[in-house]
Amino acid sequence: MVSERSAPVRDPRHAADAAAGLLELPSHEPDSEHVCPEFHGPAEFHRPAESDAVRPEPTITVAAPDRPRPAATAATVASDTYHVLALRARHAANSAETGAVGDRPTVLLLDELRNRCGAGIVGDLALGAGTVLVPATGLGDADLDAAVAAAGRATGLAVLAAAVRADLADLRTADKHANELLELADALGRDAGTYRFDDLALEYQLTRPGWARDRLTASIAPLRPELTATLDQYLRHNGDAVATARAMNLPHVSVTAHLGDIARLTGLEPLVPADLWRLHSALIARTGSRRGDERAHAG
């Protein structure tokens, strides 16, 4: 027998009640307007204040990470499953605009997403960044990816996004994971697009704190900044030294010399596939280590 908690929820009213129970929020009365539980951005849930006279309806609000929380936005539950979409937009490379993304393009981006994914999107963006919930009913991963890309093109923005699909009961965890994945994709310098754990599972694991990450990071510690930059570009150009030299505006002989210095200082030969894989892993691990140091410094 399927338990009441694990049973599929289809009707929006039932979905709202199930979410309220799982998140220990007040359940809805049968004739009340049914809305999602309150959701306030990265891994932060709030129980609405109660009074003796009137018990307010729970609402769902998604705020941009590390930004002032917008006014609550109530929305009827449109699905029992959502794409939790964390995104960060910048002006496209071919755009005449520079600097931070302002309010107008941010509003246009959210409007474009709603036009393509439906009015059931819940959330808010600030300065081109934030987290939104996109109903997953009838909208597959490929559809969402295409919608994000099209919304970016329509607004002249390069949108980097991370998506995690989750049931109502798992929105807290999904939001945390989506924002972690977005940070990782950004730190790795990934191109605009929508990323999931299947895309960055290895990188995610390599950046987890621990002795393995520390050992990998230590293996490239002797490299000077120009050698690290050469290694990074060499990897980005699939081990093509000529393309690396062109991208760095350096003579081919200089890139060859840098690769030789990398081998001498690390004991790992970039021309050997197994060693190049270890060097690549070390660069990824160092990204995670630096992110951890930045958080510790900020704290």
pLDDT band at 161 (very low <50, low <70, confident <90, very high): very high
Helix (H, G, I), strand (E, B) or coil at 230: helix
Residue 48, pLDDT > 90, answer no
Residue 244, pLDDT > 50, answer yes
Give the pLDDT score at 295: 52
158 neighbors 93 (Cβ within 8 angstroms): yes
Q: C-alpha 254: how far from its chain's center? A: 37
Residue 29, pLDDT > 60, answer no
Give the pLDDT score at 77: 56
Give the pLDDT score at 119: 82
pLDDT band at 79 (very low <50, low <70, confident <90, very high): confident
Instruction: List the one residue out of 157, 162, 184, 161 whose CA is nearest residue 99.
Output: 157
Angle in degrees, 0-180, between the axes of helices 241-248 and 225-236, rounded to the nearest 10 = 120
Residue 55 or residue 219, greater confidence: 219
pTM of the complete model: 0.66
Question: What backbone phi and psi angles, to 5 degrees, belong to 62?
Answer: -120, 125
Task: Please name the helix (run of DSSP H) or strand (run of DSSP E) that holds residue 113, with its range, or none.
Answer: helix 103-117
Residue 10, pLDDT > 60, answer no
Read off the pLDDT of residues 122-156 as tens digits, 9 standing for 90 and up. Answer: 888 888 899 999 999 889 999 999 999 999 999 99
What structural domains and CATH numbers belong to the chain?
A: 12-199 (3.30.70), 207-298 (1.10.10.2840)
HEC letters along 161-174: EEEEEEEHHHHHHH
